[in-house]
Amino acid sequence: MAAEKAEMDALKKECDGLRAQIEAARKAVNDGSMSAAASGVASVGRVQLKLRKTLKGHLAKIYAMHWSADSRQMVSASQDGKLLIWDCFTGNKLVAVPLKSAWVMSVAFAPSGNLVASGGLDNICTVYNIKAASPKTLRELDAHTGYLSCCRFLSDTEILTASGDTTCCLWDLETGKQKVIFTNHIGDCMSLALSPDMNTFISGACDSLAKLWDLREGACKQTFSGHTSDINAISFFQSGNAIITGSDDCQCKMYDLRSDQEVICYQDASLNAGVTSLALSSSGRLIFAGYDDFNCHIWDSLKGEKVGVLSGHDNRVSCTGVPDDGMGVCTGSWDSFLKLWN
C-alpha cells in the first residue's frame, strides 16, 4: 500500500516538474504582448452596426443557431420545441422541424445544406434530412450519458458532438455508431469548433480549459488554460493558428497554437456578465461576443479593445454567428428573436 502511494507520489511529482518546465518554456517565448505589437495597426474606429432584420417566429428561448455554408440560410433552435430554417435574405421561414424533446441546446447545418442536427437534454443528437418533402429523421445518435451541448457536421457522413458527460465524439452517420470518443476534459464540454482544414477541432469545457484534438489520431494535442470559470464558447481564428474562447468569468481570450499560450485577453471593468457565445468577422479582426447582460459586444481582436455594442435584445444573447461570406452577424436571444446586423 505504502509502496503504491510512494509510486503515485513520485509520478505526480514528475508531472508537476514537467508542468513547471512547460510554463518556463512558454515564458521564455513570451517576448512581447500582442496589443503592443498591434499598436501600429490602423484602428477600426467605432463599429456601429445597424439592425437589418428581426426574425420572429419562435415562441420561447432561442438556444442555438448555425449558418449554412451558402451564407443565406440559417437554422435556429428554440425551447418551443422547433428548429426553424430561415432564408435570411428574404426573412422567410423555409422549413420547420418539430423536435421530440423541447430541451434543445445545440443545432448545426451540414456543409451540403441537406441535413441539420440538433440535441440537448435528451442526450441524443438527432439528424434530419430537410430536403425531403417534409423533414425526416435520418439518425438518432444515442450514446452520450450527458446533455448534448454542441454538434458540428464534417460532411453528410460524419458529425462531431460535445456533451455534458465531458466527452466529445465523432460519429458515422451511415451506421449511427460512435467512431472516436475524445476523453480528457474533467468538466462538461460546452462548445466545439472545427479547424478550417477539418483535420483538428477545439473544445471548451466547464473545467475552464480549451483543448485541441486531432481527428485522425483521436487524441488531445494541446491544452490551454487561463480562464477561471466555464468556457461557454470557442472558435478558430480563420488562419487556423489561433483560437478564441468566451467564458463565465466575463472574459474572452485568444490563444495561439504555435506559442502554446494565451496571446491576448478581452476584458473590461464594466462587463460583469458571462460570455455565452462568440463569432469572428471573416478577416478575424472583429470578435462578436454575446453576453448575459443582453448585449453583444464587439472587440478589436488585435488591439484588445471594445469597439462597439449591439443592443436591442430583451434577454440574454445565447448565440452568435457570422456566415462564411462575412456579410453580417446574427444574434439569437432568450427573448425568442434573431437579429441580423451589419
Partner 1 sequence: MAEAQQQQQQEEGGEKEKEEEQQQSSPVEKTEPDEGAEEPKEIAQTTPSRPLLSTRSMSIVDPDDDTPNMIVYRKIEDIITRIQDETDGVPIRTVKSFMTKIPSVVTGADIVQWLMKNLSIEDPAEAMHIGSLIAAQGYFFPISDHVLTLKDDGTFYRFQAPYFWPSNCWEPENTDYAIYLCKRTMQNKTRLELADYEAENLARLQRAFARKWEFIYMQAEAQVKIDRKKDKIERKILDSQERAFWDVHRPVPGCVNTTEMDIRKCRRMKNPHRVKKSVYGVIEEGTQSQSPIHTPLHHCRKGTKEDVEKEIVFLNTQLDRHCMKMSKVAESLIAYTEQYLEYDPFVTSPEPSNPWTSDDPTFWDLEASKEPSQQRVKKWGFSLEDALKDPAGQELFLKFLESEFSSENLRFWLAVQELKRIPQHEVAQRAQDIWAEFLAEGAPSSINLDSHSYERTSQNLKDPGRYSYEDAQDHIYKLMKSDSYSRFLRSNLYQDLLMARKKPETEQGRRTSLEKFTRSVGKSLTGKRLTGLMQSS
Question: Of the two residues 57 and 164, which places its CB atom closer to partner 1 in the complex?
Answer: 164
Question: Of the two residues 137 and 183, which places its CB atom closer to partner 1 in the complex?
Answer: 183
Across the chain, how many H-helices and E-strands are there? 2, 28
Q: How far is the CB of 108 from partner 1 (least distance, A)?
A: 16
Question: Of the two residues 93 and 285, which places its CB atom closer to partner 1 in the complex?
Answer: 285
Question: Of the two residues 1 and 4, which places its CB atom closer to partner 1 in the complex?
Answer: 4
Q: Cα torsion at 218, 176, 142, 192 (round to 10°)?
A: 40
Q: How far is the CB of 230 from partner 1 (least distance, A)?
A: 7
* Contact in structure between 97 and 81 (CB atoms under 8 Å): no
Q: How far is the CB of 234 from partner 1 (least distance, A)?
A: 15
Q: How far is the CB of 285 from partner 1 (least distance, A)?
A: 5
Question: Of the two residues 8 and 134, which places its CB atom closer to partner 1 in the complex?
Answer: 8
Question: Of the two residues 130 and 250, which places its CB atom closer to partner 1 in the complex?
Answer: 250
Q: How far is the CB of 21 from partner 1 (least distance, A)?
A: 6
Q: 56-75 in b/e burial notation, b at 16+ Cβ within 10 A?
A: ebbeebbbbbbbbeebbbbb
* Contact in structure between 153 and 117 (CB atoms under 8 Å): yes
Which residues, other chains included, contact 34 with Cβ-Cβ below 8 Å and sequence gap of 6+? 254, 263, 264, 302, 304
CA distances from 199 to 88, 202, 214, 283, 284 (A): 30, 11, 6, 21, 20
Q: How far is the CB of 303 from partner 1 (least distance, A)?
A: 10
Pairing of strands 200-205, 210-214: antiparallel
Q: How far apart are CA 56 and CA 115, in angstroms?
A: 23
